Structure 1
Amino acid sequence: MSSTPSNSNTLLLRRQLTELTKHPVEGFSAGLVDENNLYEWEILVIGPPDTLYEGGFFKARLTFPPEFPLLPPKMRFITQMWHPNIYPDGVVCVSILHAPGDDQYGYEDAGERWMPVHTVESILISVISLLSSDTPNLDSPANVDAAKEVRTDPEGYKKKVRRLVRRSAEEAFD
């Protein structure tokens, strides 16, 4: 990367990581992919109880830009996911991860988008609530096929998600 991250960014990230290690958020664990790089985190999301994702173990990456906390990190599931608000390549599409300012498409209020006061914890909580929601946001889907299946074949959608959940649990213990 051309721009060198400032010390305050790395301090902030280190503090958030320490905080999450000391006081884990239920349903998550976080660590660094490589001890020498605070900008790449490994996240394990445990499927929330009483949801389609219950029993699943989903691996994800959080990648922070050098401008953090002015700009949000990107979150991408490495485990295969099937959800209207997660792109086929695993990138998570939630308001809190969208750059600050107004939404050019008018779907989101500026207040729902990224703000420097947000933390890794608030991101993870918002991803858990995304997976916990019985009704995914179908207004501007990241995965059009998953959104279509939710509308036209909800049972088929649930079956596909449950299959991925089972596979994720098997892979977690390989």
Structure 2
Amino acid sequence: MADESSMGSTSQAALLLKKQLAELNKNPVEGFSAGLIDDNDIFKWEVLIIGPADTLYEGGFFKCHLIFPKEYPLRPPKLKVITDIWHPNIDSKGDVCISILHEPGDDRWGYEKASERWLPVHTVETILVSVISMLADPNDESPANVDAAKEWRDNYPEFKKKVAKCVRKSQEDLL
């Protein structure tokens, strides 16, 4: 049996997530749509990120799962891209590596300031807007996919070709 405090934080997290989902449904944000994977689990969301205009990802439809911890908003969710994607900040398993999704506090390797990492003020909207921005402007200094980062730097035409293939496949998968 869970103790009172963990039950309280779980229900607070659930209430906050319900509120954020209702807000996104009422006022959709350009560039993505979000909903629940399973209507009975507020902690597991499915997100569709639309490749931003004027980027290599333009026209792509990237399905993701956004999984929230029971301690949300004190701890960050995990974002996994389900659709094939080639990007320096998304590893081969689809896990998105972006500062605001890293655990709060100081970075033990010294790459990120605490202010760049997870803060409880972040919402689904701020997370996804940051991810969309990351698609347009990869951080090759701290890559999750070293091969994609190296190719982005050293063989951009080949990088572009791989991304175009992912975009085409994402369009076909949506049909």
Output the TM-score relative to the length of structure 2: 0.94
**Aligned length, in residue pairs:** 170
Whole-angstrom distance in 2 between the partners of 1:53 and 1:72? 25
For the residue of structure 2 that corresponds to 1:62, the secondary structure is strand
Matched, 1:53 2:85: no
Distance in 2 (alpha carbons) for counterparts of 1:132 and 1:141: 15
Question: Which residue is equivalent to 1:7?
Answer: 11
2:169 is equivalent to residue 171 of structure 1: no
The match for 1:162 among 161, 164, 168 is 164
2:111 alignment partner in structure 1: 107
- Structure 2: gaps (5+ residues): none
Q: 1:75 aligns with which of 75, 79, 83?
A: 79
- Alignment equivalent of 1:64, drawn from 62, 68, 86: 68
Residue 41 of structure 1: aligned partner: 45
Distance in 1 (alpha carbons) for counterparts of 2:144 and 2:125: 23
CA distance in 2 between partners of 1:80 and 1:131 (Å)? 14
Q: 2:147 aligns with which of 145, 148, 154?
A: 145
Give the unaligned 5+ runs of structure 1. Answer: none
3-state DSSP of counterpart to 1:42? strand
Alignment partner, residue 96 of structure 2? 92
Cα distance in 2 for partners of 1:44, 1:79 equals: 10
Residue identity in the other structure for 2:39: E
Which consecutive aligned stretches of 4+ in structure 1 deviate over 6 angstroms post-superposition? none
| Cα distance in 2 between the residues matched to 1:79 and 1:148 | 22
What is the percentage of aligned positions where both structures have the same residue?
Answer: 61
Q: In structure 2, what is the Cα distance between the partners aligned to 1:56 and 1:7?
A: 35
Q: How much has 1:6 moved relative to structure 2?
A: 2.4
SS state at 2:43 partner? strand
Q: Distance in 1 between matches of 2:124 and 2:67?
A: 11
- Output the CA distance in 2 between the equivalents of 1:126 and 1:70: 18
Are 2:135 and 1:127 equivalent residues in the alignment? no
TM-score scaled by length of structure 1: 0.95
Structure 2 distance, partners of 1:169, 1:138, is 26
Which residue of 31, 35, 45 maps to 1:31?
35
Secondary structure, counterpart of 1:67 in structure 2: coil
Give the distance between the partners of 1:147 and 1:51, measured in 2 at CA. Answer: 16
Q: Write the distance in 2 (CA, Å) between the matches of 1:109 and 1:79.
A: 30
- SS of 2:74's equivalent in the other structure is coil
